Amino acid sequence: MRLSSIALTAGIFAAAGGLSYVSAHFSVGQIESHTRTTLQQAFRTDGLDWADIDTDGLQVHLFGTAPDEATRFAALSSAGRVVDTARLIDQMLIAESTADDAPDFSLEILRNEAGLSVIGLIPTETDREALIGLLSGAAGDAVAEDAVTDLLETADFPAPPGWDTALRYAREALRELPRSQISVTPDRVAIKAIAESDEARRALEAELTRAAPAGLQLALDITAPRPVISPFVLRFVLDENGARLPACSADTIQARDRILRAAEAVGLQGEPDCPLGLGVPTAEWGDAAVAGVQAVAALGGGSVSISNADIRLVAPQGTPRDKFDRAVGVLESGLPKIFVLQTDLPEPPEAETEAPAPAPDFVATRSPEGVVQLRGRLADMRARQTVESFAKAQFGSTSVHMAAREDETVPEDWSVRALAAVEALAMLSNGAARVTADTVTVSGRTGRPEASTDIAALLADKLGDGTAFEIEVEYVEQLDPARGLPTPEECQGLIVEIIGDRKITFEPGSARLDASAEDILDELAELLKQCGDIPLEIAGHTDSQGREEMNQELSRDRAQSVRDGLRERLVPVRAYTAVGYGETRPIADNDTEEGREANRRIEFTLIEAEAPSDEATDAEQSEGVLDAEASADQNPTEDESAAAEGAEDE
């Protein structure tokens, strides 16, 4: 009994040890594969295709023959950005040089509070120790000579013309630059530095430019800390004297450029001052400023003033109420939540009696191009959000523009009427739906013969007996979706025409659609909406690089992404099938880059009602296949790379 317990315990420990060994071995393999793949990608990005990598646990061996010392140093620097330099073992060689193989000499000087670093490749005839001493002396007492990090390499070639001149200028510039980066080549010096103030920056730029020797190219990038602006303000005025920007603040260059472009679009001229500073109340300051300027433009005049998160819009005297309401509604929709809006519509001074305020209304319009505008009055912010969300669900999020403003005086059932009007508008190809206190009016054109009846039934159900409604809908045969629909075969030919020589692309190593594929999917969506529920197979294909299982899974995910992209564009995709074939169906030679490029693709195939016979030729089997090649690289993701050890990473 006791012996059995001992044996059982020993077995458990042995199993645990074996499991630990297998796990450790697998983990090491994962780390090695990931490191190797990442370094290969870095070398390709930097144009160092001659370099090779081998991994041994945490150690990374660098092999290959560099064309010159500078290129070898570049490979070391590139690898050092990916892994700890202590893990790198340099076994690279340098090709035998000829008299014409003189390298590109360069020097990088980095100076900050921590000290001085000198990196680069210099001629052997340049006295290295003297150079370090001169640079240390130029940096002053703040940097001792023994505190300089020397990462210089030398090459036994004569110094090129201009080299000594550039070094002398860089040394003198270093005296004035306590926090800087100075890059030196024989004919050019580039300086990046930080000045204490904007005034000091201008003085420093003038001094460095004046001291530059003739014939030396000088590139200056000197910045200064931004001042604190309090409060952040903006004021834009548009009147009979033109557009003016008396006050302006911005937190980023991008925000400033957007504000100035919006003002210039309304007529602002010259070069107005819009300083950059710290203290912005929200990162969306630029959005609020642009929305305010655009509101003034929509009114045709007036002013907008912003102080931190308070914004005030003043319309010109006599502005029509509906025009004012529309501009305010658009501004409210475009303002970030933190901002508080106040509006002012001055009455004309010559008005002897106060005219009664116009009755509130809500209007939803749909243009022939499908653009939907919502304007007028809604009860509150919740009602605005509800109506806008419902409209986006009916027409698509990119087609709806909300320009309605809040008005607590509207009737209690106003939101119900507005939602019913939007739903009725969705039954029209184009038209308008208007809600007033007494009635709901729907007018427009449609390609549905039963639209008038359906709209009447909808309004009767939603509005009840207390609200009258009017329907003026015209049936237009040319708008009938059932008229002139293309056949599945015609759709197939049209897809070929739309795609042409273009490609559906993805982000490297993933199933995420690249931005360049959006236009193709938009055009395909417009066609496929007319084609109806045709049986369509969306097939993903890859080249032969990487593991077969991984390629099959990636191709399937990419096909599914295309299907999802079409569904998001309101295409009926119930009859569509997403399939991944991986590397099993190549159409070109995988041994060449051109062949691999051709094999990476997305194909649209019309699914026939009957399966093809066994005697069908290859050409017959491929009939209807629409090649929409996916040109994205087959780069595995980081997790996939670990599982695809040894696969070439494109």
Of the pLDDT bands very low, low, confident and very high (cuts 50, 70, 90), residue 260 is very high
Beta bridge partners of 243: 238
As a whole number, mean pLDDT of residues 379-392 equals: 90
Tell me the domains of the chain and their CATH numbers: 8-94 (3.30.300), 106-223 (3.40.1520.20), 233-344 (3.40.1520), 362-479 (3.40.1520.20), 488-643 (3.30.1330.60)
Task: Please give the structure tokens belonging to residue 148.
Answer: 């300089």
**Nearest alpha-carbon partner for 558 in 513, 603, 498:** 513
The pLDDT of 131-150, averaged and rounded, is 71
Nearest to 622 by CA among 574, 581, 589: 581
CB 255 within 8 A of CB 286: yes
> 446: which residues sit within 8 A by CB, 6+ positions away?
427, 428, 429, 431, 473, 474, 475, 476, 479
Dump pLDDT digits (tens) for 415-470: 999 999 999 999 898 899 999 988 889 999 888 878 887 888 788 788 876 678 88
Half-sphere exposure of 271 (CA within 13 A, CB side): 0
Answer with the residue of higher pLDDT: 186 or 485.
186
Residue 585 CB contacts under 8 Å (≥ 6 apart), including other chains? 541
Mean pLDDT of the chain: 81
* 588 close to 599: Cβ distance less than 8 angstroms: yes
Average pLDDT over residues 188-207: 85
- The phi, psi pair for 56, rounded to 5°, reads -140, 90
Burial of 424 (0-12, 13-18, 19+ CB in 10 A): buried
The more confident residue out of 46 and 290 is 290
Share of the chain above pLDDT 90, in %: 18
The tens digit of pLDDT for each residue in 3-56 reads 566 766 766 766 666 666 556 555 666 777 878 888 888 888 888 888 888 887
Helix (H/G/I), strand (E/B), else coil: 371: coil
- Give the chain's length: 650
Return the closest-CA partner of residue 72 out of 125, 129, 121.
Answer: 121
Residue recorded with tokens 């009994």? 1
Report the C-alpha gap between 649 and 160 in whole angstroms: 39
Q: Are 491 and 527 in contact (CB under 8 A)?
A: yes
Q: With bands split at pLDDT 50, 70 and 90, how would you rate the model's confidence at 546?
A: confident
Checking if the pLDDT of 256 tops 50, the result is yes
β-bridge mates for residue 605, sequence order: 537, 625
Dihedral of CA atoms 335, 339, 340, 342 in degrees, nearest 10, equals -50
User: Is the model's pLDDT at 261 over the cut of 50?
Assistant: yes
Alpha-carbon distance 600 to 541, whole Å? 6
Please report the pLDDT score of residue 609 as a whole number. Answer: 59
227/460 Cα distance (integer angstroms): 63
Higher pLDDT, 314 or 608: 314
Q: Name the token pair of 86.
A: 């202590």
In this predicted structure, what is the pLDDT of residue 636?
43
Confidence band for 97, pLDDT divided at 50, 70 and 90: low
Instruction: Give the integer Cα–Cα distance in Å for 598 and 543.
Output: 8
Q: How far are the Cα atoms of 6, 15, 18, 23, 340 from residue 11, in angstroms, in the given order? A: 9, 6, 10, 18, 72
Q: Across 255-269, 484-498, 518-532, which has the greatest mean pLDDT?
A: 255-269
- Provide the residue type at 480 as one letter: D
Residue 645 identity: E
Per-residue model confidence as pLDDT tens digits over 229-243? 878 889 899 988 899
pLDDT given at position 201: 83
The DSSP H or E segment spanning 296 is: helix 285-299
Give Dmax over CA atoms of the chain in angstroms: 113
H helices of 46-139, in order, are 69-80, 128-139
Nearest to 402 by CA among 335, 492, 461: 335
**pLDDT for 479:** 67
**Cα dist. 461→364, 395, 465 in Å?**
20, 22, 9
Closest CA to 335 of 392, 294, 275, 394: 294
Q: Which long-range contacts (CB under 8 A, 24 or more apart) does 143-151 make?
A: 143/111, 143/115, 143/116, 147/115, 147/116, 148/115, 148/116, 148/117, 148/118, 149/115, 149/116, 149/117, 149/118, 150/118, 151/117, 151/118, 151/119, 151/120
Given a cut of 50, is residue 619 above it in pLDDT?
Answer: no
Statement: the pTM of the whole predicted model exceeds 0.85: no
**Contact at 8 Å (CB) between 190 and 161?**
no
> Amino acid identity, residue 463?
L
